[in-house]
Structure 1
């Protein structure tokens, strides 16, 4: 993955696992990724990080995150019957879709699946202190696997 931009971030607004000082805590994750021939590269932690990582892996440029957010939201909209059952009950599908279309809104499992299907890639999300998440929608011989 390409190196991300360096920005001053107010650490009081970040989740506990993204606060400065966590770098030494990820040595175990770094070792696991080394075995796979992967490395950790920071992307801007601004709520667009899933889409930034996706853009970085697919185009080598995290700044194209908006393109991937729009692609994923459009895919969800066009495949409503597939995704609507997984939208929280207290939020209408249209409300959810509009919200996800806005920059800075965090993605979840629905967006992971939609991104895999929209980009025709299997996706593995490696997480510190938790099992990896997979969107394995294609045979390994018919689609690439990207790691976020």
Structure 2
């Protein structure tokens, strides 16, 4: 089986020979098409098969510089209103970890928060079904995927989380007015997170004195 014949399907077993790849990164396609590590067999694998060409190395360096630049910019943006970032582990659970930190000042309750969010989605499937995208096709598929540990939270999960917590989730993003995801009728019921769209990552936000962050209605962009 060649790499190109494995493209587009998922199989139980794949045998890959690294002897004659067609070009840089051709092995990645085959690696992504096998269901388990136990089903992957690699032939003729040597350390000299792995290299990074100049263009890729240059792009990666540029991306790293851009990431640092954006981090500095959002840090400055938050500092201007008296806030600071609390770094959250990036393991796919970062949104729920950030919310856990907002509520309890630790990340450890992220699984419980995800579970409560999933229960709310199950109880209100008809309300959320019209907003499921083509990737999941049905609300049942969406809930099954979102219930998995490590699945990134999207707008539906975030909206459901806001409601179950009776909190307005304020999302900060570089260069944008903080966005309120409604969960409470009381403006002072707030939790604050920072979103990095290029990284698909959330961090927690607190005041510079480590107190809970708060913004007035005039400082927030409201959503329905």
**Aligned with residue 90 of structure 2, among 36, 45, 53:** 45
**Structure with higher helix content:** 1
Pairwise CA distance, 1:130: 5.0
TM-score of the aligned structures, taking structure 1 as reference length:
0.77
**Structure with higher strand content:** 2
Once the two structures are superposed, what CA deviation does each residue of 1:30-53 show, in whole Å capped at 9, x if it has no partner? 122113321111111111000000
Aligned positions, number:
130
Q: Counterpart of 1:40 in 2: which secondary structure?
A: strand
Q: 2 CA distance for matches of 1:32 and 1:140?
A: 25
Partner of 1:59: 104
| Structure 2: gaps spanning 5 or more residues | 1-59, 194-224
Bigger drift between 130-139 and 71-80 goes to 130-139
Alignment of 1:2-41 (within 5 A): 21=65, 22-41=67-86
Structure 1 residue ranges, 4+ long, deviating more than 4 angstroms after superposition: none
Of structures 1 and 2, the larger Rg is shown by 2
| Structure 1: gaps spanning 5 or more residues | 1-15
Once the two structures are superposed, what CA deviation does each residue of 1:108-130 show, in whole Å capped at 9, x if it has no partner? 11011101101000011112355
Pairwise CA distance, 1:144: 1.1
Asked if 1:103 is matched to 2:149, the reply is: yes
TM-score of the aligned structures, taking structure 2 as reference length:
0.53
Q: 1 CA distance for matches of 2:186 and 2:83?
A: 18
Coordinate RMSD, CA, aligned: 2.1
Asked if 1:112 is matched to 2:179, the reply is: no
